[in-house]
Structure 1
């Protein structure tokens, strides 16, 4: 007797009849990724603004303590433009205050980062140097910036020198510690193999130690920039105008809360942007990080 042909599986037949085009699948994944990266932050921002407005309009606190978002926006416009013959805040626009503070961070934190990387390479390579200096670096890392800022003012005056020095001292320990740990963690087998192949000490440092230490060093650099940013207002406590931290401190002296909030937002947003740029630089310089 003739046998009946096999009945194809419905799931397989469905997949064969209407396979999802690769482009459509890629587009769906990209759409979901875009929704997560943009939609959720915008949603959280909207919820934050709604809660802020509800607290400000509840009447439990005065506008000096909790100004509504509209007043903060007006303050942002005022310090960013020339109005009623007044240019920004204390004669400088908001972008100019920010640029001066970023220059201080660039010079101060940049110096601390460079010295920290070099010091970390030496401490990670020479044991007695690490044993000699590591306790002092740990001691310095645990000190809050305000603990020694007054001493820096006594030594260096009230101009740019104490501010830049404070930012350099704040940025130095995280980089030095992370670089030291990274250099100490380089597999000794790689170093011995390079030396067996005739590599000089400089070749070992350049081709083995530095590439192996780069990922942790970049982590230390990001931490150092964050510490320097958190020390910005402290660095500009004395004679900080012009400067975004000095603007915040001066506005707080006069209970100008909207300007204080504007300064806080500007410091935080600019810090996020700088951290994003450092993260991009890290991915470009260390593409092998996170890959086996």
Structure 2
């Protein structure tokens, strides 16, 4: 009788979700964690905006140095719409410098994509060679030297070599992205376990097969981390890259607005740069999770 009662109540219990499902409980826990983090971020952002508004409202800081949030929002809207040149003028201009803000951002993203892409295409193969051959002993000091140079140290030289067009900007972004990718690849190759390499070699694998079957998969997490770091370096370099003739470009717009003392537009551009960098990093983290799902797992 008890067995019949248990059998009859089981479907209802399943429908009510009262049974213990480890996977469902884990998903629910992850959902609660995400909601808690979202609430924390929203709360901290609200506090920051309120503090910003209070500081500007009370006049503790002059608007030239820190404009109120409303002025920054107006500058953002103005940069994305058609508007008169000045109050009462019939002449209509398009965004800022005849480009919308999203077009400035897209131009910078294209430059970064080419620069970082070139850094990946050259940095990964060179890192593999330096990690597995004698080239590492010869080239690593020069790689470290290049990694230690700030971008502003050679932007003038690149302009002399390649002019003020996109070529010098892309080269600067490439030089910012290449060393992290190469260094991460070298670190990944040197971290491959020797017993894994010896195991496949003992089974008759060639050098190429060992590289593709063991070294590359083991190195991939480090390479993806290097790409994330390189992308971050490229973003921090974008303003320097677009100092000269950087329009269209979000870094060039921020620099030009600063020269014109248009602080609201400067802050709006900085916020766009930061938010775009966060979005890029989140995308790269998602790519890393899909390509190396075993990372961080025993």
User: TM exceeds 0.5?
Assistant: yes
Aligned to 2:101: 94
Of 121, 136, 141, the match for 2:147: 141
Distance 1:31 1:167, change over 3 A: closer
What residue in structure 2 maps to residue 169 of structure 1? 175
1:153 aligns with 2:159: yes
How far is the alpha carbon of 1:61 from its aligned partner? Answer: 2.0
1:115 pairs, out of 111, 122, 146, with: 122
Residue-by-residue CA offset, 1:189-219 (whole Å, 9 max, x unaligned): 1111111111111100000000000111111
Indicate the residue corresponding to 1:71 in structure 2: 71
Give the aligned partner of residue 201 of structure 2: 195
Displacement of 1:20: 5.6
Alpha-carbon distance in 1 for matches of 2:31, 2:289: 24
Which residue is 2:12 aligned to?
A: none
Alignment coverage as a number of residue pairs = 273
Distance in 2, matches of 1:198 and 1:29, equals 47
Aligned counterpart, 2:287? 281
2:223 to 217, 223, 227: 217
Contact 1:167/1:235 (<8 A) preserved: yes
Q: Does 1:183 align with 2:189?
A: yes
CA distance in 2, matches of 1:215, 1:80: 39
Query: 1:184–1:247: structure 2 CA closer, same or farther, 3 Å change rule?
Result: same
Rounded to whole Å, the distance in 1 between the matches of 2:166 and 2:25 is 56
- In the alignment, structure 1 residue 57 sits paired with structure 2 residue 48: no
1:261 aligns to 2:267 (yes or no): yes
- Alpha-carbon RMSD: 1.6
What residue in structure 1 maps to residue 33 of structure 2? 33
SS in 1 for 2:154: helix
Counterpart CA distance in 2 for 1:266 and 1:287 is 31
Unmatched runs of 5 consecutive residues or more in structure 2 = 1-16, 85-91
CA shift for structure 1 position 231: 0.2
**TM-score, normalised with respect to structure 2:** 0.88
Structure 1: gaps spanning 5 or more residues = 1-18
Contact 1:251 1:259 in 2 (8 A): yes
Q: What is the CA–CA distance in structure 2 between the aligned matches of 1:27 and 1:100, rounded to whole Å? A: 39
Q: Distance in 1 between matches of 2:71 and 2:120?
A: 39
Q: Distance in 2 between matches of 1:268 and 1:200?
A: 46
Q: Which whole-Å CA distance do the structure 1 matches of 2:30 and 2:146 have between them?
A: 46
Q: Distance in 2 between matches of 1:52 and 1:160?
A: 37
| Preserved contact between residue 49 and residue 69 of structure 1 (Cα < 8 Å) | yes
